[in-house]
Chain A
């Protein structure tokens, strides 16, 4: 069979002569990597550009069209020691990037106007021998600078306020917009009337500070998206597609259509849904159902994306995603759970719901109060607007995004990625964590459990022989033996095992029957029905390896730490009872259930919620996706299926379970700092409002109070970076 790799799906045209490819690269961490990669790729003839983006861990390559095969870049990067894969930015990410660029443009304009208006305001504040004409001149200049800039830079708020009003609701942007527009209108009228005070500087400064908060918020979201995009790309989900009767080509999943025929070799993970049309094998469905024992696959068997093929080669006819019965069921549950997800009201929104009516009522009462006290309408309205300006939520708008930015950076370093903006707030309230077992508490790969009793030399040989097999159990033996050098002259007997000649003796690795080791295998299996066995024989001596999924190395410690924090831990798994019992006993979890279907998982979580518990669900499989959506907050390991990752609020990296704990700790800390910040912001208002109501808030005082409180809140946000746990802090 011919084998080609086809990445044409990802290649874009810059102009008629130049082609462009974006790759996600793993392991780029420093300037050294950057230079190495750029030099290495630029050395390829006809490559016109190779530039690494160190922030996003991505690489852009451009070359003369038709001169280079894109697969060459991936090979060259592999030689340099980097795993890379082409990626296509998803639309959501492109939109986030555009949005943050727009906010940055607005911020630039607002910052320019703020600084220059200050230059024009200071002479007025200082006063001295400034003539009224000169003061008017400065006011007119301020108007000239601020009005167009505010009109441009205020767009994000105006649009959002307009949307909210059209939907007959009120968000934070409504009082902001009203405050800014009134302040600018009033200042313009005052300027025309040669008055003493105008608030042009306060209005534009407010916009600048608020935009800084918005930009931070947006940047965090964009970073999360970019990282998630890279991870999705690096999973390198490809399928081996038949492009002719016996010609196959490795293509990205995005290029596979329903009705295509794909080849699934032993040890490969299926990336599509479909049904088997030819071949016999065993398949591992654990990612989909949580069931760890292998299932027989033959003509007509349905396979799903995420299924691992074990022993034989299969040909699969791709079906549309909706045809799979199990998948359709899961999707239906998922839709339902997402609809039922009680819309959590973010802290900032709750603050603003309270905020708007209070502020507007205060301003209105101030106006009425002054009129009743005998002031002119004009003076009363000016003071009322001063109240609006000084209470405007500068610090409030920064209070939460600044903390989120700091906390998400700290979480990122602890191996947690945020998928949802309000995940921090929701994770902080968790009092019950529900774990899935397979792939979440256990590592996704298999491991040898009885390696200690096997002589080193035998282990080494078995490992080297295992390198020739694609069978996952054999792969586990090869990994455990840390074998590097495959044996020469290995022949594979499909469905039974592999054999080779070594120093005149025959070595075999495969099923116990194939190696004549049935007795030992049965002894091991009867002692522990959960393991898979693989036998190894040299001549007539044989060894049986027991292989199983191991718990994550720090699972027990992490669960202890959770319990110490007063968080209840439960275990829900689709796997059979003995396996779940074993894990629960090893981890000291008393509340566990086995053989749970996706629908039962949701029902259980709903029941917990009905008891008033705040549930975090941690799961990785397709069967967990609906319950992830149903929980108050959800988390997935990076090895999870696409569907679960898309539904999870948080994604964690690495072999350890510690990030689950880190996520909760950091969230709690961040939440505490957010509350402090809100208190600071409100405290500032409590101090400033009486001054404004008394009619003493000159533009100078307004400017000082606003910038002072914003800076204070920003500095306080930095404290979310560190979490103390039992004396030690997370690195």
Chain B
């Protein structure tokens, strides 16, 4: 049972890491165009443009 004290926080850390990754991907506009992303993944063209910067003011 002592191992729990170590393992449970570790598991939670990993979960938080996943959450942070999700929030970052949301912020950087990766959910803006899901249909397009699906096609880009299989297009032969490696010259995919970067997502546009944050909406200009």
Residues from chain A with Cβ under 8 Å of B36 in the complex? 31, 34, 52-55
Q: List 25 A-B contacts (CB under 8 A).
A: A12-B57, A20-B52, A30-B39, A31-B39, A35-B43, A38-B49, A39-B47, A42-B49, A49-B52, A51-B50, A53-B32, A53-B36, A54-B36, A55-B32, A62-B53, A104-B26, A104-B31, A108-B19, A108-B23, A112-B18, A116-B11, A116-B15, A119-B11, A134-B4, A141-B8
- CB of B15 within 8 A of CB of A55, answer no
Q: How far is the CA of A152 from the CA of B30 in the complex (A)?
A: 22
Does more than half of chain A's interface fall in helix, strand or loop, or is it mixed?
helix
**A60 in the interface, Cβ–Cβ < 8 Å?**
yes
| Assembled-state Cα–Cα distance A334/B9 (Å) | 61
- Among B1-53, those with CB < 8 Å from A are 1, 4, 8, 11-12, 15-16, 18-19, 22-23, 26, 31-36, 39-40, 42-43, 45, 47, 49-53
Instruction: Kindly name the residue among B11, B31, B40 whose own CB sees the greatest number of chain A CB atoms within 10 A.
Output: B40
Measured between alpha carbons, how far is A611 from B53 in the docked complex, in Å?
Answer: 56
Q: Does A713 contact B (CB under 8 A)?
A: no
The 7 closest A-B pairs by CB, nearest first: A31-B39, A54-B36, A12-B56, A60-B52, A112-B19, A53-B33, A54-B35
**Do A55 and B19 form a contact, CB below 8 Å, given A42-B49, A116-B11, A137-B4?**
no
Contact of A50 with B by CB under 8 A? yes
- Chain A neighbourhood of B19, CB < 8 A: 108-109, 112
Query: In the complex, A184→B49 CA distance in Å?
Result: 46
Q: Are B4 and A112 in contact (CB under 8 A)?
A: no
Whether the pair B39, A34 counts as a contact (CB closer than 8 A) is yes
**Shortest distance from the beta carbon of B42 to any chain A beta carbon, whole Å:** 8
Q: With A12-B56, A104-B31 as given contacts, are A51 and B51 in contact (CB-CB < 8 Å)?
A: yes
Docked complex Cα distance between A30 and B32 (Å): 16
* Chain A residues near B39 (CB-CB < 8 A): 30-31, 34, 54
Bound Cα distance from A38 to B51, whole angstroms: 12
Contact pattern, A 38-70, Cβ under 8 Å of B = 1, otherwise 0: 110010000001111111100010100000000
B residues in contact with A323, CB < 8 Å: none
Chain B residue numbers with a CB within 8 Å of A137 are: 4
- How many Å lie between the Cα of A122 and that of B36 in the bound state? 39
Asked if A378 lies at the interface with its beta carbon under 8 angstroms from chain B, I say no
Given contacts A31-B43, A49-B50, A112-B19, contact A54 B33 (CB under 8 A): yes
Closest Cβ neighbor of A100 among chain B residues: B31
User: Among B4, B8, B45, B49, which residue has its beta carbon within 8 angstroms of that of A51?
Assistant: B49
A121 to chain B minimum Cβ distance, whole angstroms, is: 12
A120 to chain B: which residues have CB within 8 Å?
A: 8
CB-based nearest A residue for B45? A35
Footprint of B on A, CB under 8 Å? 12-14, 20, 30-31, 34-35, 38-39, 42, 49-56, 60, 62, 101, 104-105, 108-109, 112, 115-116, 119-120, 131, 134, 137, 141, 145
Which B residues lie within 8 Å of A134 (CB)? 1, 4
Known: A52-B36, A55-B33. A115 touches B49 (CB 8 A): no
Q: Are B16 and A55 in contact (CB under 8 A)?
A: no
B56 touches A51 (CB 8 A): no
Q: Of A12, A20, A115, which is within 8 A of B15 by CB?
A: A115
Does B34 contact A55, Cβ atoms closer than 8 Å? Answer: yes
Contacts of B43 in A (CB 8 A): 31, 34-35
Q: In the assembled complex, which residues on chain B have CB atoms less than 8 Å from the CB atom of A34?
A: 36, 39-40, 43
Residues from chain B with Cβ under 8 Å of A116 in the complex = 11-12, 15
Is the CB–CB distance between B23 and A105 below 8 Å? yes
Please give the distance in Å from B47's CB to the nearest CB on chain A.
8
Could you say which interface size class chain B belongs to? 20 to 34
**Complex: A124 Cα to B57 Cα, angstroms:** 51
> How far does the Cβ of B38 sit from chain A's closest Cβ, in whole Å?
8
Q: Which residues of A contact B11 (CB under 8 A)?
A: 116, 119
Considering the chains assembled together, what is the distance between the CA atoms of A20 and B34 in angstroms? 22
Report A-chain residues with C-beta under 8 Å of the C-beta of B31: 104
Contacts of B51 in A (CB 8 A): 51
Residues on A with C-beta less than 8 A from B45 are 35, 39
Q: Are B56 and A101 in contact (CB under 8 A)?
A: no
Nearest CB in chain B to that of A112: its residue: B19
Interface residue from B33, B50, B52, B56 paired with A56 (Cβ < 8 Å): B33
* B32: chain A residues within 8 A (beta carbon): 53, 55
Bound Cα distance A690, B40 (Å): 52
Return the chain B residue nearest A129 by Cβ: B1
Question: Min CB distance, A259 to chain B, in Å?
Answer: 29
Q: What residues of A have a CB within 8 angstroms of the CB of B16 in the complex?
A: 112
Report the minimum CB–CB distance from B18 to chain A (whole Å).
7
Measured between beta carbons, the chain B residues less than 8 angstroms from A51 are: 49-52
* Contact residues in A for B40 (Cβ distance below 8 Å): 31, 34
Q: Which residues of B contact A42 (CB under 8 A)?
A: 47, 49
> How close is A37's CB to chain B, nearest CB, in angstroms?
11
Closest Cβ neighbor of B32 among chain A residues: A53
Q: In the assembled complex, which residues on chain A have CB atoms less than 8 Å from the CB atom of B18? A: 112
Chain B nearest CB, measured from A714 CB (Å): 19
Question: A39–B47 Cα gap in the complex (Å)?
Answer: 9
Contact across chains for A14 and B49 when beta carbons are under 8 A apart: no
Q: How far is the CB of A133 from chain B (nearest CB, A)?
A: 9
Distance to closest chain B CB from A36 (angstroms): 10
Contacts of A20 in B (CB 8 A): 52-53, 56
User: Is the pair B35, A55 in contact by a Cβ cutoff of 8 Å?
Assistant: yes
Residues from chain B with Cβ under 8 Å of A108 in the complex: 19, 22-23, 26
Q: How far is the CB of A257 from chain B (nearest CB, A)?
A: 23
CA distance A54 to B35 in the complex (A): 6
| B11, B45, B52, B53: residue with the most chain A Cβ atoms closer than 10 Å | B52
User: In whole angstroms, how far apart are the Cα atoms of A49 and B15 in the complex?
Assistant: 35
The closest CB in chain B to the CB of A120 belongs to B8
Asked, given contacts A38-B49, A112-B16, whether A14 binds B23 with beta carbons under 8 Å apart, the answer is no
Inside 8 A of B53's CB, which chain A residues have their CB? Answer: 14, 20, 62
Question: Which chain A positions have C-beta within 8 A of B56?
Answer: 12-14, 20
In the complex, A115 Cα to B1 Cα: how many Å? 22
A473 to B32, CA, bound (A): 45
Q: Does the CB pair A62–B26 fall under 8 Å?
A: no
A108-B19, A116-B11 known; 10 new pairs, CB 8 Å cut-off, are A14-B56, A20-B53, A39-B45, A54-B33, A60-B52, A62-B53, A104-B31, A115-B15, A116-B15, A134-B1
The residues of B that contact A145 with a CB separation of less than 8 Å are 12
A38 to B52, CA, bound (A): 13
CB distance from B44 to the nearest CB of A (A): 9
Docked Cα-Cα span, A134 to B4, in Å, equals 9
Tell me the complex Cα distance, A45–B12, Å. 50
Tell me how far the C-beta of A387 lies from the nearest C-beta in chain B, rounded to whole angstroms. 31
Chain B residues lying within 8 Å of A35, measured Cβ to Cβ, are 43, 45
Q: Which residue of B lies closest to A53 (CB)?
A: B33
Q: In the complex, which residues of chain B have a beta carbon less than 8 angstroms from the beta carbon of A104?
A: 26, 31
**A55 vs B49: C-alpha distance when bound (angstroms):** 16
Bound state CA distance, A105 and B53, in angstroms? 20
> Which chain B residues lie closer than 8 Å to A53 at the CB level?
32-33, 36
Residue of chain B at shortest CB distance from A56: B33
Residue of A nearest to B42 (CB): A31
